[in-house]
Structure 1
């Protein structure tokens, strides 16, 4: 089993969503350089739950998302990369962090769509877009979603104005219905907290 290159971040990456990154740390510049030699360059993204990534000593989450490298550009001492989330994985074991973080992983089963979930998805989308319109999120409430229902559900989770721990809760979902239900609950909770502050 080969260890997957890993990029621990202070944010959650969902499947089917873009990930723009500024890469400047030497170890991640090394990682990107190696990825560019691969036919299908992918790396894992996990949430840092505690501590700071720079300098190590961080506590990393056990569920993450594969990211496929789609573009790389450079300016002085910084690489600008864009990747897209693909499938989820669980971390079985962290390997040595030299020359960059790596881990042995196992795939997490993909969510499955059922047309009976369409009303729940419609409700979730209406709530997320309504709360987005009233928040100072980087996402526009009119953001277009994929025509593929599973991709759209993950993208909806990605644009919801939630904190990273709530987003991590969503990432761990085992069913599409469960993801939609939690997305509704967490977004309504965020909305009510916003009204109180």
Structure 2
């Protein structure tokens, strides 16, 4: 398990610089696995530091498939890609690194009836990114041709804080994920407008 100060969504890449001995051990064991496609869990740290432990962790997270690893002078640069969501049933002995017993959450299902809502969500997110983000790295980000992947990727580029992202991660249907993405993005725009007076 990799507790972080950020939320990982399914179908979204996450680059990580690994330097703590416990996580170097964890990644080393993943790389030693015979089977390809090894995974680790990512959960949001709700309170406390990323390094050193002693943090309070969210109960819903996302598995990440390790896709690349490169050794630095005293660290590892790895990239994972989110796969399935889970809930933490309980944390177990953290020696030599954080571990937990998990239950996988059901995949969110796509329906073509959601296409207009998806189009609205994408229009809102891209408009608000262009307005509030400086610079605007995600305003023109390409989304997957797969609609399920595209909706999660859209949630990932929405200009939201981590607690709003965590709300999205807990969505129980594709429709609620899209509606909440729209609502939270519009709320973020209102806050930005109030702060900057425009």
Q: TM-score, normalised by structure 1?
A: 0.95
Give distance in 1, aligned partners of 2:135 and 2:76. Answer: 25
Shift of 1:56: 1.6
Write the mapping of 1:1-197 to structure 2, written as runs, cut at 5 A.
Answer: 6-38=1-33, 39=35, 40-134=37-131, 135-136=133-134, 139-197=137-195
Aligned-partner Cα distance in 1 for 2:148–2:12: 12
Count of residues in correspondence between the two structures: 192
Q: Give 1:9 deviation, angstroms.
A: 0.1
Contact residue 73 and residue 81 of structure 1 kept, 8 A = yes
Corresponding residue SS for 2:11: coil
8 A Cα contact 2:9 2:169, kept in partner = yes
Structure 1 residues 137 and 116: alpha-carbon distance in aligned structure 2, compared to 1, 3 A threshold: farther
Segments of 5+ residues of structure 2 without an aligned counterpart are none
Q: Distance in 1 between matches of 2:18 and 2:52?
A: 15
Query: 1:139 Cα deviation (Å)?
Result: 3.5
TM superposition shift of 1:97: 1.1
1:139–1:159: 8 Å Cα contact kept in structure 2?
Answer: no
Q: CA RMSD in A?
A: 1.0
Q: Secondary structure at the match of 2:115?
A: helix
SS of the equivalent of 1:36 reads helix
Moved over 4 A (4+): none
Structure 2: distance between partners of 1:188 and 1:68? 32
String of CA shifts for 1:60-89, please: whole Å, max 9, x gaps.
000000000000001100100000000000
Cα deviation for residue 136 of structure 1 reads 2.4
Answer yes or no: is the 8 Å Cα contact 2:60–2:169 preserved in 1: yes
